[in-house]
């Protein structure tokens, strides 16, 4: 009987103990998603006839500093990059940027098809990239969202590099408030994506 009572008390202690275990800090989640522009497919096809190629978009390579979901800021004056407390991106920065690029490329209608890494789609070309910067920089009383991406267009087997480029974009934020910073990131990523779309379209003209 005593053993039974002790067993019940032990189980009760374990259950109650679960409620007092340390919990992770609650985070506010932000996402940068591509917003389709008002450009019609007919207008797009007139300016950019569809390339008869399929493109697979690889997840950008990045340093450990960027390969997570923290929203980063460099305060300036040579200070180290810091992370905003209590907020996170919805996914790791490289994956979030990859998904944005895929959506943007699909919206343009420039190519026969666009697939992300891991999709069971045969593609002639592969877009690889290195994400060098994705942070807010505070300099001279200005708050700037800055993104830099080195891109390479390669054949699917990776043996033939067709073209390379360094793309970078920035956008001012009204303040260091996280909502203002996220809006600036939206603008910077949209500009970078537009640069990428045009460069990729021009580069695929060399294929064939």
Q: What pLDDT shows up at residue 89?
A: 97
Region 28-204: CATH code:
3.40.50.10610
* Interatomic CA distance for residues 205 and 51, integer angstroms: 8
Give the model confidence (pLDDT) of 15-52 as tens digits.
334 334 344 566 899 999 888 764 444 445 557 889 99
Provide DSSP, 121-186.
---SEEEEEEEEEEEEEEETTEEEEEEEEEEEEEETTS--EEEEEEEEEEEEESSSSHHHHHHHHH
pTM, rounded to two decimals: 0.82
Task: State the CB neighbour count (10 A cutoff) for residue 146.
Answer: 18
* Interatomic CA distance for residues 165 and 142, integer angstroms: 28
What's the whole-number average pLDDT of the chain? Answer: 83
* Interatomic CA distance for residues 45 and 21, integer angstroms: 58
Q: Has residue 64 got a pLDDT over 50?
A: yes
* Interatomic CA distance for residues 93 and 30, integer angstroms: 11
Q: Has residue 14 got a pLDDT over 60?
A: no
Give the model confidence (pLDDT) of 153-207 as tens digits.
998 776 789 999 999 999 999 999 999 999 999 999 999 999 999 999 999 986 6
Pairs from 80-86 (Cβ < 8 Å, separation ≥ 24): 81/135, 84/178, 84/181, 85/25, 86/25, 86/26, 86/27, 86/28
Q: How sure is the predictor about 135, in pLDDT bands with cuts at 50, 70 and 90?
A: very high
């Amino acid at each position: 009987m005593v053993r039974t009572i002790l067993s019940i008390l032990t189980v009760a202690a374990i259950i109650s103990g679960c409620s007092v275990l340390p919990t992770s800090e609650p985070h506010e989640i932000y996402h940068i998603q591509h917003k389709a522009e008002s450009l019609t497919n007919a207008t797009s096809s007139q300016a950019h006839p569809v390339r008869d190629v399929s493109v697979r978009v690889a997840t950008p390579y990045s340093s450990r500093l960027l390969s997570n979901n923290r929203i980063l800021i460099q305060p300036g004056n040579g200070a180290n990059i810091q992370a905003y407390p209590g907020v996170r991106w919805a996914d790791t920065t490289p994956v979030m940027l990859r998904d944005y690029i895929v959506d943007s490329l699909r919206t343009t209608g420039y190519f026969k098809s666009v697939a992300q890494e891991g999709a069971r789609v045969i593609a002639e070309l592969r877009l690889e990239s290195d994400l060098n910067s994705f942070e807010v920089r505070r300099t001279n009383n200005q708050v700037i969202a800055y993104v830099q991406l080195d891109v390479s267009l390669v054949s699917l087997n990776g043996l033939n590099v067709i073209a390379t480029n360094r793309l970078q974009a920035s956008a001012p934020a009204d303040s260091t408030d996280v909502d203002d910073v996220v809006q600036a990131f939206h603008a910077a990523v949209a500009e970078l994506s537009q640069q990428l779309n045009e460069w990729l379209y021009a580069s695929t003209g060399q294929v064939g």
